[in-house]
Amino acid sequence: MESQPVIQLEGIRKTYLMGPTHVNALKEATISIARGEMVAIMGPSGSGKSTLLNIVGCLDGPTGGRYILDGINVSQMSKDDLARVRNEKIGFIFQGFNLLSRATALDNVKLPLLYADQQVVADMDRKAMESLSWVGLGGHSHHLPSQLSGGQQQRVAIARALINNPSIILADEPTGALDTRTSTEVVDIIQKLNIEKNITVVMVTHEPIIAQYCRRIIRFRDGRVQDDQEITRPRSAAEDLKSMPVEVEE
């Protein structure tokens, strides 16, 4: 099991039709990511990194090529099956947090469970509380997103991504809307879930500093992998936090 990569992309192509012209967003991507890796995907806008993330996240199907996620070929799956795969195997973290504004933190974290099979209502609350506590927000379960700071909102989103015990977590510019210290805190949690829970993390970012926390950086340009680089000694967010001044939150 460990020998098999959790994400295996073979010659993935993606073509969009925009008016009369075909846009080749992804020309040829062959990437293999092993279980437990923490990978940063970088590249200028239009390089195809967002398209890749959509395909890896099963939000979109490839035009050509093969995608095997956790041993399952998902490249030709129906919409309903893809929804199921997203529910069971993938956790998303977005730049804009994407929490339901009228639902409490607890209800937001619970959301994936509502669409999963065979869940007991009492279990859902317990699992959601565990997940919230894990990101350090056990005391904020009944707050609305508007009552939480940006960093706290992103942590709620991380708790939501974690709740179904996914195989991979996909983070799309997770620190894009946060200041430096809060960014580092969020990255710290992502590093922790990668190490402590052994969950594979794929993170799209354009901030080189954030990419430095990953163990591998894949650079995209013009719809192709330009560069695939191992980081032998990634930075530790926990270490960096110690040297940062503590800002007072209101």
Under rule CB under 8 A, how many of the chain's residues touch another protein? Answer: 26
> Does residue 100 interact with another protein by CB under 8 A?
yes
- Where helices occur in 150-179 by DSSP H, the ranges are 150-162
Ranges within 110-129 binding another protein (CB under 8 A): 111-112, 114-116
Stretch that binds another protein, among 39-47, 97-105, 181-189, 239-247 (CB under 8 A): 97-105
User: Length of the chain in residues, anyone?
Assistant: 250
Closest to another protein by CB, 99 vs 190, is 99
Select 116 or 244, whichever has its Cβ closest to another protein: 116
Q: Does 107 sit near another protein (CB under 8 A)?
A: yes
Alpha carbon separation from 11 to 16, 46, 66, 135, 203 (Å, rounded) = 17, 19, 7, 37, 21
Check: CB of residue 162 under 8 Å from CB of residue 131. Answer: yes
C-alpha dihedral sign at 135, 94, 167, 216: negative
Q: Which of residues 156-185 bind another protein (CB under 8 A)?
A: 160, 164
> Which C-beta is closer to another protein: that of 21 or that of 118?
118
Check binding of 209 to another protein (CB under 8 A): no
Q: Is 150 left (phi over 0), alpha (psi -120 to 50) or beta?
A: alpha
Smallest separation (angstroms) from another protein to the CB of 63: 15
List the structure tokens of 212.
Answer: 């430095």
Q: Is 145 in the site for another protein (CB under 8 A)?
A: no
Nearest-10 Cα torsion for 195, 40, 137, 97: -160
Name the site residues for another protein (rule: CB under 8 A). 54, 57, 59-60, 79-80, 83-84, 86-88, 92, 94, 98-100, 102-103, 107, 111-112, 114-116, 160, 164
